[in-house]
Each structure stands twice: as structure tokens, then as C-alpha cells.
Amino acid sequence: MRLWSVHPRFYDRQALTACWREGLLAQAVIADPSRRGYANHPQLQRFRAAQDPLATIGDYLSSVVDEADARGYRFAREKILRTGPVERIPVARGQLEYEWGHLLRKLQVRTPAAWERWHSLPLPDPHPLFVVEDGPIADWERVG
């Protein structure tokens, strides 16, 4: 599961659709904690720590579907169970840098035109749910 901290405008088609599917799975797990599967996935920690986890993952998904709409894709917005208002979640600069490098490597292989467009950008904007703070890669990240 990858719930990117990077703004959805930087995703290629594969990352956007995967993030939508995985975000819906995260929403299902947050809505029903007894669900099996990804119930203990470390990336869910930052959503579960929010005051309203279901609205927080809903706001996350809303930005993903907004980007899909802008590209002419048809994601089912009605699958979002609840939205905010919610507080923005801090993301460490080190985490955003790590994810940006990870995404750029994927873009270079899958979508060279997107890589060419974005590779010289030192740090992307974060997903609208997140606010960047100083700090290292998150403890929950699986660094490969």
C-alpha cells in the first residue's frame, strides 16, 4: 500500500489509479477496524492518529479524485464515505524527499514523459492534506 504524501498532480496514470484503489482499501479498514488484510499497515498510522480518521482519509481521497476529474478519468467520488473539515497532517521533509525519489524512479521506467517533466524539481508540493515540517523519513516507512 502506498498512500503518497506527494501532490496527485505529479502521479502518472498508474500511480493515480493505484493510489485511488489503495486509498479506498485504507478507508474500508479505517471504517471497519475488524477487517482483515491491511488492518495493521503502518501507513494507516497517520490517518488513525487524526481526530476524525474517516473524514481524514476521505479528504485524502477527495484530492485524488479531483486530480482524476481534471484528467478526464471517471473515479467514483460517491465511494468516499465522509470528508472534513479536518486538520492538515504534518509530513516530514525527509519523508517527502524519500517518496519523491521513489516516485521519480517509477516514472522514469513507466512514464518517461512525466519523468522528463518533473525530474529536475527538487521537492514537489505535498498532497493538500499534508503540511511539510522539518524531519527525517517516517518511522513507518519501509526503506528499501
- Is the pTM value of this prediction over 0.85? yes
Residue 41 pLDDT: 80
Tens-digit pLDDT profile for residues 83-142: 988 999 999 999 999 999 999 999 999 999 999 999 999 999 999 999 999 999 999 888
Residue 97 pLDDT: 97
CA 105 from centroid of its chain's CA atoms: 17
Q: How far apart are CA 78 and CA 57, in angstroms?
A: 14
Q: How far apart are CA 126 and CA 119, in angstroms?
A: 16
Q: What is the largest CA-CA distance in the chain?
A: 43
Tens-digit pLDDT profile for residues 6-52: 999 999 999 999 999 999 999 999 998 777 767 778 888 899 999 99
The half-sphere exposure of 71 on its side-chain side, counting CA atoms within 13 A, is 18
